[in-house]
Structure 1
């Protein structure tokens, strides 16, 4: 069973802006992501169809969850869901009485289990980064050690004299380039255009497969979220508060996103934060696990409240 935004919106009890906007890390090019929690009417709940849980839309980018699905994700300490209850109030788009009650009881969901979920997400980001860097290095190595240069020289010798290939290379974004030295005094623009076009086409033909294996150009964004997650988890375990807006470390996080740190330096910092996270789990005063029975009563209260 699926619904349209127009069908879900009237039954939404809580809707907020999430992602970079709620973190305070948005740029002029950042998307505006939203998440919402829905309680469908009884006649739509009591059917033989498979229970509706989640639906995602684009333009606008909004993700709807049933109340049961959302609360189960809160219980599991899912970072991208748990933060819904802790976004700054100015990020709240819609909040009914039921949504207000849910947010009021948000502390119920916080526990030491957050160590495993937040650390897990952070480690996933770290794995993506290291895997991406390995693929980048491997691709660059293959590009510079194969016989691409010979192919380019053959192409060049068939079209012009006085041109020599000095170097071929890949930029950090995986774009192929070639350095030429010219010892001829006369060449028309049309001839020059023909030569450069032929070389460019040949370069692309020889690097398409490698480029397809290149990691996303967002490794620095993964790194920013790695550190954001680690900072949030440590704060949560040490203070009992989940701080979504990252004003306190915004400058540092954006510097990571902008590529202002060497990877080796970031890996050292990440390792230190992982160690601190482990220590924070040991000393945290948070409850070991969320009180399931109390949360079940809250769910029943919200579902039966008009």
Structure 2
């Protein structure tokens, strides 16, 4: 698997790694600002995460070639919300089981955000700093995939830097994060977008070669 890892690499890493990192960022922002941001702003964070999830649907679900799913926020009629997320959905002849799975993924994002409001405040700092470190680590791994076409999970060069994030280097006394941290995240996002447009990786993995590799592994396993 390690020797053949490049078989599995493609630009889809931007959506899988980068999209997941963006989702973690929105959750982090929501967690540290849950008592400071208005409800309408928090709803925008959830919307951004859901849009990221939809971008990640490519390659896993049937394409919306006969319709579309559009998410947006608008004024809410609910007493507990100023604004809320709405959806315009137009799909023809779409597999119901896939549609159900997509809806579950989107509703799970909402559930995850709502759970943040019930966390143990005594554990917040440790959780958030670990979360912030993991966010930056995801960006670093994704950039290596796109720029160097390699998967580097053990970040030896950045170890001290990542641990400084985990130890609260970028966290302020009130539990929020210094602007320097968010500027760094923005810089990584720009690097990912540039790399996606200027790399030689294919848009999708060559599934024929992947399947041939899987068959060769199975054959060798059966042959002992």
TM-score range (shorter-chain normalised) is: 0.5 to 0.7
CA contact (8 A) 1:111 1:286 kept: yes
- Segments of 5+ residues of structure 1 without an aligned counterpart are 1-101, 139-209
Q: Which whole-Å CA distance do the structure 1 matches of 2:118 and 2:148 have between them?
A: 45
Q: Which whole-Å CA distance do the structure 2 matches of 1:211 and 1:290 have between them?
A: 41
| Partner SS for 1:243 | coil
CA contact (8 A) 1:235 1:243 kept: yes
1:249 aligns with 2:158: yes
Structure-2 change in CA distance of 1:136 and 1:115 (3 Å): same
Structure 1 length-normalised TM: 0.41
1:224 aligns with 2:133: yes
* Correspondence for 2:30: 131
Structure-2 change in CA distance of 1:270 and 1:297 (3 Å): same
Matches within 5 A, 1:202-281: 214=121, 216-217=124-125, 218-262=127-171, 263=177, 264-281=179-196
| Partner SS for 1:248 | coil
| Deviation, structure 1 residue 270 | 0.2
* Correspondence for 2:108: none
1:283 aligns with 2:198: yes
| Partner SS for 2:158 | helix
Structure 2 length-normalised TM: 0.55
Larger radius of gyration: 1
Q: Which whole-Å CA distance do the structure 1 matches of 2:18 and 2:149 have between them?
A: 16
| Deviation, structure 1 residue 266 | 0.7
Q: Which whole-Å CA distance do the structure 2 matches of 1:300 and 1:136 have between them?
A: 54
Q: Which whole-Å CA distance do the structure 2 matches of 1:222 and 1:284 have between them?
A: 29
Structure-2 change in CA distance of 1:224 and 1:108 (3 Å): same
Cα RMSD (Å)? 2.1
CA contact (8 A) 1:128 1:222 kept: no
Structure-2 change in CA distance of 1:303 and 1:221 (3 Å): same
Matches within 5 A, 1:190-201: none
| RCO higher in structure (CA 8 A, sep ≥6) | 2
Match of 1:121 among 20, 25, 32: 20
CA contact (8 A) 1:135 1:213 kept: no
| Partner SS for 1:230 | helix
CA contact (8 A) 1:220 1:257 kept: yes
| Partner SS for 1:247 | coil
Q: Which whole-Å CA distance do the structure 1 matches of 2:145 and 2:118 have between them?
A: 40
| Partner SS for 1:288 | coil
Q: Which whole-Å CA distance do the structure 2 matches of 1:136 and 1:251 have between them?
A: 31
Higher strand share: 1
